[in-house]
Amino acid sequence: MLKEKIESALNEQVLIEAESSQIYLAMASWAEVLGFEGVASFMYAHSDEERMHMLKLVKFINERGGHAKVPALNAPPIKFGSFKEMFQNLFDHEVKVSQSINDLVDITLTEKDYATHNFLQWYVSEQIEEEALARHILDKINLIGDDKGGLYLFDNDIKLLTNQAPPVA
């Protein structure tokens, strides 16, 4: 049975994962409208992945005797300035999500809820990968700068990256 404090913190993480999915969906739509098929595909896939992270939490909360709550979401932005700004936002967002997961892990240790602590280790590992990927992409964008040819090649490269991605757990 989940303690109330743990259930509340997990439900807050459900909100964060749901917002992540919406943010990446908005980024996908923005990139697609601008004609960047690869970036759009990457962001659509990332949106789906974040939704799966949310659903995994929902099922865990309910299976442990809690009640997962479907949160109301604020509308994400619809424009992102430049690709550099968009990927910087993506990186910053992943850092924020990592901090939230770390805070949640800390609560589970304080409350001696080792089952939830164990469950969250998957999220800890996932966030290491998410931050590294976002940092890698941001580094590439910084190398390209404003070169339109470079952005075209980047779009094709990220499309290949999306097509090679393993299925979501």
Q: Which two tokens stand for residue 30?
A: 């923005």
Sign of the four-CA dihedral 128, 157, 168, 23? positive
Q: Can you say whether residue 65 is alpha, beta or left, with left for phi > 0 and alpha for psi between -120 and 50 degrees?
A: left
**From 3.30.1450.10, 1.20.1260.10, 2.60.40.1120, 1.10.645.10, which CATH number describes the 4-164 domain?**
1.20.1260.10
Mean pLDDT of 54-78: 96
Note the pTM of the prediction, 2 decimals.
0.90
Mean pLDDT of 75-99: 94
Mean pLDDT of 99-105: 98
> Domain residues of the chain, as ranges?
4-164
pLDDT at 58: 98
Sign of the four-CA dihedral 12, 125, 99, 159? negative
Instruction: Give the DSSP letter string of 63-121.
Output: HTT----PPP-PPPPS--SSHHHHHHHHHHHHHHHHHHHHHHHHHHHHTT-HHHHHHHH
